[in-house]
Structure 1
Amino acid sequence: MPHDFVIPEQVLSTAIALVRDDLKMAATVNRDYEDSFGGGRGTVVNVRTPNTLKARRRKMTQDGTAITVDTITESTIPVEMTEHVYSAVDVSDLQMRMDITDFTRQVTVPQVRGIVEDLENLVTETMQALPETLTLAYDPAKPHLTFTRARKMLRDLGLPAEGLWAAVGTEVYAELLDANAITDASQSGSTEALRNANVGRVRGFMTVENNRLADDEIIFYGRDAFTLAIRAPFPPDGAAFKASQSENGFAMTWVKDYDSTVLKDRSVFQTYAGCQSMRVKRLASDGTTSLVVPALRVLTSTDPA
């Protein structure tokens, strides 16, 4: 029977829910999204960063004297949208009438999961672009000691104790298991998808296994160390079925139209994405601020000596 029940908004809501459930690495970083481009120029968007203020202090005997008034200035960091991530498939009338009984399961799910995989690759590639930190020694029999040292380095940069993450290659994760260094695996992670990706806590780091990383690779970071910026393309005016939506930390456009040259319907899911490492303000005890990248990249096979 014809699939007259395929409603663009429903298809897109289902697709975005699938994205939310399937995200692993992308779910551990800051995500900035809107329905369309805004707050920037061209393919660049400005991502807001937290303000940093130092409290003032004076002696109680100074009552009546003028106080120092600070100004809040919102900070932004430009993030370039570099990728047009999409999945396009043709579906014939015969397939729609005879083969496809569940549009979501047979068409939407494979397309959306392909997009999720590519976004996961984009986040991992951004992490791997960091320069290697050569100051951390690594002992495969005691891998948790490297985590302890990395935690101190990130805490010294001003990162809070909560919200620390470590993405590790499969060999490093195996060494952590052999050393019984992973705790609270059944309770860790913000979503069921992250738990399925093998998430545990090591020395204060939520630790996720990532088979996109090299076997000996570790990325230590805070959530704000990387931003995945998402924008939904405007749906074309000429498309028969179309929708654009932002929901649950993700933005996407779906178009279903007819290509008369091949006599087939075409289903297209698409989004614009950009991912980059971020610099955050570090507030020193004397009130001065500096910009730091709150992330470390370690290759355990590299000898720091």
Structure 2
Amino acid sequence: MKLIRPLPLLLLCALLLAGCGQGGGAPQEQETAQTQTGPTWESRTPSEAFQGIQGCAVLYDLGTDHYTLYQEDLCRTQVSPCSTFKIISTLMGLHTGVLTGPESTMTYSGIQYPVAAWNGNLTLAEAFQSSCVWYFRQVIDQVGQASVAQQLAALDYGNQDISQWEGGGQNQSPELNGFWIDSSLKISPLEQVQVLTKVFEGRSQYTQEEVDTLRTIMLVQDDGTRQVYGKTGSGFGETGWFVGFQEKAGARTYFAVYLADENRTVSGSQAREVAFALLKETASLA
């Protein structure tokens, strides 16, 4: 009798050990599944939306966590942000108190500029819509180099290089130059989309009030069913930008279009046309 008593105990231990082994496997499987999650990527050649213009585009569908890259190599190439940097300049001004809202006004110097809308005292909303360089030159100068550097680092904005603070001197007037205009600061179209996503999805240092103010002045189109927010940019090397995001039926798509064509004149307005065409094209493919 003494010989058979330990048998049930051994069986019980074996069963317990087997149960522990099964219980320990589940978290490992869950961990493996979690490490495999992340954005999906799709690379495409330029479509008819580009109208034969050389360039690239990044579209990011937030809901599906899916990136579509047209001309992927160029999408990953850092270039000057030009006037698309006014998006970040606005946030910097609001965050440091240099700007307080859409009505924040900067004083006009009296210089006659080729863009009529620049010749007068301007509010933030007016300066953003007319892409007034001297207004944002004043904003950035008041924010200061140390704060600009800190905020660019926090956003992981491109190469974060503001070494040419006064710019490369492409314009005759100093107040129309800056490190973001065909100068030291550079960012890729893909990085543009990633920075915008951080800002508007609440993953940056900026407050909701600051982001909402920016969002208000970025509105480009609202047809009742969709809203498009964005900013154009044009460079001296026959280049054009349009970056922003679209909201439609509860879905949000971020985008960055960059055009660079040595064989024709391109601008931010053409990049905007390409962006709208791509948004329509991808919607029809969904």
The two structures have a TM-score, normalised by structure 2, of 0.22
Larger Rg: 2
**TM-score, length-normalised on structure 1?**
0.21
More helix by share: 2
RCO greater where, 1 or 2, for CA within 8 Å and sep 6 or more?
1
